[in-house]
């Protein structure tokens, strides 16, 4: 996925195939948000921003790491969803086969829930970094701070749906609790993103 063109990815996304799907799209939203944060930070370097150098350098490093993580999660999500479809194709003619199939499906559903849960965590950090940059970053690219938070919000809300769709088939209580907690965090992430975007719009309107 990381080496294909945007056009090719979108063609696969639009195709009648199991993956990539919404989970991969959510991860790429997060990756774009992280990239935009990195761009704003890089425009906020030099003598004019010397007093914030440590913060800006830290944001650059973390946003680059988040971007790489999100891209990996896009690939992980596609692989995990394929594992779910493969598990459902397993034979179930005998009791042993049916039992093995059920176990494989349960494990695959947990595996499919984890990449979007991690995407939510990435999105949360992107919003945090954008909020940190807003008061100290280059005002010429302030609109991109909002763009980053809106991309992160889309990542989080989309990923939440992809967590929730897998919860119904997950019986493991610990896994359910972990994934539910990730999904429950999204409203807070979206609210923080909206706060940053509102602040940017007020700044632009001055």
Q: Where are the alpha helices (DSSP H) in the chain?
A: 6-14, 22-42, 53-88, 95-133, 142-167, 173-184, 186-205
pLDDT tens column, 144-198: 999 999 999 999 999 999 999 989 889 899 999 999 999 999 999 999 999 999 9
Q: What per-residue confidence (pLDDT) applies to 18? A: 81
Residue 169, pLDDT score: 85
From CA 206, how far away is CA 202, in angstroms rounded?
A: 7
Query: What pLDDT score was predicted for residue 43?
Result: 98
Low-confidence ranges of the chain (pLDDT < 70): none
**What are the Cα distances from residue 94, in Å, to 97, 102, 138?**
5, 12, 65
What the block records as the tokens of 26 is: 């959510």
Which residue reads 């009648």 in tokens? 16
The C-alpha torsion from 31 through 33 and 34 to 35, rounded to 10°, is 80
**60, 110, 150, 164, 170 from 55: Cα distances, Å:** 9, 37, 22, 36, 41
Q: Please tell me the predicted confidence (pLDDT) of residue 2.
A: 82
pLDDT value of residue 168: 84
- Whole-number pLDDT of residue 76: 95
């Amino acid at each position: 996925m990381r080496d294909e063109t945007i056009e090719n990815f979108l063609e696969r996304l639009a195709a009648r195939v199991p993956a990539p799907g919404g989970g991969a799209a959510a991860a790429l939203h997060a990756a774009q948000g992280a990239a935009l944060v990195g761009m704003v930070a890089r425009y906020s370097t030099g003598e004019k921003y010397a007093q914030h150098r440590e913060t800006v350098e830290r944001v650059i490093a973390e946003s680059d790491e988040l971007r790489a993580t999100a891209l990996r999660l896009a690939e992980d999500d596609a692989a995990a969803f394929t594992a779910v479809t493969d598990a459902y194709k397993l034979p179930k003619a005998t009791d042993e086969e049916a039992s093995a199939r059920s176990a494989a499906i349960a494990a695959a559903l947990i595996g499919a829930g984890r990449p979007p849960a991690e995407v939510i965590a990435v999105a949360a950090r992107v919003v945090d970094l954008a909020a940190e940059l807003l008061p100290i970053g280059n005002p010429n690219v302030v609109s991109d701070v909002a763009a980053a938070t809106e991309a992160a919000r889309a990542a989080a809300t989309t990923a939440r749906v992809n967590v929730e769709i897998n919860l119904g088939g997950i019986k493991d209580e610990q896994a359910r609790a972990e994934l539910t907690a990730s999904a429950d965090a999204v409203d807070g992430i979206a609210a923080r993103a909206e706060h940053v975007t509102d602040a940017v719009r007020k700044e632009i309107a001055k």
